[in-house]
A and B are shown apart, each in its own frame.
Chain A
Amino acid sequence: MRTRSDRFSLWEYALFAGITLAVLCLCVCVGSVNVPLRETLTAVAEALRALVLHRERPSGLGAAIILSVRIPRVLCVALVGASLALAGAAMQGLLKNALADGSTLGVSSGASLGAVIAIAFGVRVPFLPFAGTTAMAILFAFFSLLIILGLAYRMDCSFSTNTIILIGVVFSMFVSSLMSVIITFAADRIQHITFWTMGSLQGKNYTDVLLTGAALLVCGSVIFSRWRELNAFAVGEDNARHIGVNVRRVRLLILLAVSGLIGVCVSVGGTIGFVGLVTPHAVRLLAGPNHRRLLPASLFGGAVFLMLADLTARILLNPVELPIGVVTSLVGAVVFVIIFYRSRKRVKG
Chain B
Amino acid sequence: MKRTRRLAAILIAALLAALTACGTQNGSGTAPETASQAAVSEAAQAEENGSADGSAQAEENGSAEGSAQAAKTESAQEEAGQAGEAGSAQTAENGPITVMDMTGREITLEEPAEKVVALTASDCEILYAIGAGDALVGRGEYCNYPAKVLEVPSVQSGADTNIEQILSLEPQVLLMSTMAQTEEQVAQLEAAGVHVVVSDAQDIAGVYTAIELIGALMGKDAEAAEVIDGMKSTFADLQEKAGEGSGKTIYFEVSPLQWGLWAAGSHTFMDEIAGMLGLTNCFADVEGWAEVSEEQVLERDPDYILTITQYYGEGPTPEEEILGRSGWENITAVQNKAILNLQNDELSRPAPRLAEGAQMLYDFVYGSGD
CB within 8 Å of B: which residues of A? 31-33, 59-61, 64-65, 67-70, 122, 129, 184, 187-192, 195-196, 198-200, 202-203, 205, 314, 318-321, 323
Q: Are A65 and B262 in contact (CB under 8 A)?
A: no
Q: Is the CB of A195 within 8 A of B262?
A: yes
The total of chain B residues at the interface (CB under 8 A) is 34
B252 at the interface (CB under 8 A from A): no
Bound-complex Cα distance A278 to B256 (A): 32
Q: Are B259 and A31 in contact (CB under 8 A)?
A: no
Q: Contact string, B296-329, partner A, CB cutoff 8 A, digits 1/0?
A: 1011010000000110101100000000011111
Asked whether, in the complex, the Cβ of B259 is within 8 Å of the Cβ of A65, the reply is no
- Complex formed: what's the CA distance from A196 to B256 in Å? 10
B257 and A61: CB pair below 8 A? no
Residues of B within 8 A of A319 (CB): 283, 285-286, 292-293, 296
Q: Which residues of B contact A70 (CB under 8 A)?
A: 295
Partner of A33, one of B285, B298, B328: B298
State whether B142 touches A65 (Cβ < 8 A): no
In this assembly, does B178 line the interface, its C-beta being within 8 Å of a C-beta of chain A?
no
Q: Which residues of A contact B290 (CB under 8 A)?
A: 320
With A32-B295, A64-B298 known to touch, is A202 a contact of B326 (CB < 8 Å)?
A: no
Q: Shortest Cβ distance from B108 into chain A, in angstroms? A: 36
A33-B295, A33-B296, A319-B292 given; A191·B255 CB < 8 A: yes
Q: Is B75 an interface residue (CB 8 A)?
A: no
Q: Tell me, in angstroms, the Cα distance from A31 to B329 when the chains sit together.
A: 20
CB <8 Å contact, B141 and A187: yes
A-side contacts of B221, CB under 8 Å: none
Q: Are the CB atoms of A61 and B315 closer together than 8 Å?
A: no
Nearest B-chain residue to A322, judged by Cβ: B291
In angstroms, Cα B259 to Cα A64, docked, is 20
Q: Does B66 contact A (CB under 8 A)?
A: no
In the complex, A184 Cα to B141 Cα: how many Å? 9
Known: A64-B327, A203-B258. A188 touches B293 (CB 8 A): no
Contact B299 A203 (CB under 8 A): no
CB neighbours of B299 from chain A (8 A):
33, 61, 65
Interface centre among B258, B295, B326 (most CB of A within 10 A): B295
Q: List 10 other contacts, CB 8 Å, given A60-B330, A64-B298, A187-B141.
A: A31-B295, A59-B330, A64-B327, A64-B328, A70-B295, A191-B309, A195-B260, A202-B257, A203-B261, A320-B292
Provide 30 A-B residue pairs closer than 8 Å at the C-beta atoms, listed in order of the A residue: A32-B296, A33-B295, A59-B329, A59-B330, A64-B330, A65-B295, A65-B298, A65-B299, A69-B294, A69-B295, A69-B298, A122-B314, A187-B141, A192-B310, A195-B259, A195-B260, A198-B260, A200-B291, A203-B256, A203-B257, A203-B258, A203-B260, A203-B325, A205-B326, A318-B296, A319-B296, A320-B291, A321-B291, A321-B292, A321-B293
**Which residue of B is nearest A314, CB measured?**
B293
Q: Which residue of the partner chain, among A65, A189, A202, contacts B327 with CB atoms under 8 Å?
A: A65
How far apart sit A314 and B295, CA to CA, in the bound complex (Å)? 10
- Interface of chain B residues 269 through 303 with chain A (CB within 8 A): 283, 285-286, 290-296, 298-299, 301
B329: which A residues are within 8 A, CB to CB? Answer: 59, 64
Q: Are B295 and A187 in contact (CB under 8 A)?
A: no
Complex CA gap A199/B258 in Å reads 9
Contacts of B296 in A (CB 8 A): 32-33, 318-319
User: Complex formed: what's the CA distance from A164 to B178 in Å?
Assistant: 41
Partner of B260, one of A69, A189, A200, A205: A200
Q: Please, how many angstroms separate the alpha-carbon atoms of A129 and B285 in the complex? A: 37
A190: B residues at CB distance < 8 A: 142
Q: Kindly list chain B residues whose C-beta atoms are within 8 Å of the C-beta of A203.
A: 256-258, 260-261, 294, 325
Instruction: List the A side residues contacting B326 at CB < 8 Å.
Output: 68, 205
Q: How many Å from the CB of B245 to the closest CB on chain A? A: 23
Distance between Cα atoms of A347 and B309 in the complex (Å): 56
| Residues of B with C-beta under 8 A to A31 | 293, 295
Q: How near does chain A come to B326, taking the closest CB pair, in angstroms?
A: 4
Q: Is the CB of B312 within 8 A of A189?
A: yes
Chain B residues numbered 116-157 whose CB sits less than 8 Å from any CB in chain A: 141-142
**Closest residue of chain B to A319, judged by CB?**
B296
Residues from chain B with a CB closer than 8 A to the CB of A61 are 298-299, 301, 330
